[in-house]
Amino acid sequence: MKRNLIITIVVLVILSSGYIFFQSSFADFIGGKAFLLITTNASTTVSLNDKVVGTTPYSAKDLPVKDYLVKLVSDVLIATSAPSATPSATKITWESNIRVTPNTQTVINQEIGPLSIFSSGEILSLEKGTGLTVITKPEEVKVNLDGNDLSVSPISASATVGNHKLKLSKTGYFSREITVNVPNGFRLIINAQLALNPLESEQKAEGNEKVTLYRFSTDNFTLLDDPQSWASGIWFFQEKYASASPRFDLILDSNGKGYYSSSTDWAKKQSEKKAVIIGYLSKTTESGLSEAAKKKYEEIKNSFYPIAKVKISSTPTGWLNVRGGASQSNSIITKVNPGEIYELLEEKTGWYKIKLSDGKEGWISSQYATKI
Q: Is the pLDDT of residue 352 over 90?
A: yes
Q: Is the pLDDT of residue 358 over 90?
A: no
Is 335 in contact with 321 (CB distance < 8 Å)?
Answer: yes
Closest CA to 45 of 66, 15, 76, 67: 76
| Per CATH, domain 309-371 is 3.30.70.2860 | no
Residue-wise over 350-370: b if at least 16 C-beta within 10 A, else e?
ebbbbeeeeeeebbbbbebbe
CA torsion 320-325-329-334 (nearest 10°) is -40
Across 37-41, 77-81, 292-296, 348-352, least confident range: 77-81
From the centroid of its chain, how far is CA 216? Answer: 10
- Residues shown for the chain: 372
On the 0-12 / 13-18 / 19+ scale of CB atoms within 10 A, 14 is middle
Closest CA to 167 of 14, 6, 38: 6
Please report the pLDDT score of residue 278 as a whole number: 94
Q: Is the pLDDT of residue 207 over 60?
A: yes
- Sign of CA pseudo-dihedral 48, 53, 55, 61: negative
Give the 3-state secondary structure of residue 301.
helix
pLDDT over 70, % of the chain:
88
9: left (phi over 0), alpha (psi -120 to 50) or beta: beta
Q: Is the pLDDT of residue 157 over 90?
A: yes
Please report the pLDDT score of residue 85 as a whole number: 58
Cβ-based neighbour number of residue 203 at 10 Å: 10
- Domain boundaries defined on the chain: 8-193, 203-304, 309-371
- CA pair distance 78, 90, nearest whole angstrom: 7
Q: Is the pLDDT of residue 13 over 60?
A: no
On the 0-12 / 13-18 / 19+ scale of CB atoms within 10 A, 280 is buried
Please report the pLDDT score of residue 31 as a whole number: 47
Is 128 in contact with 23 (CB distance < 8 Å)?
Answer: no
Average pLDDT over residues 301-314: 85
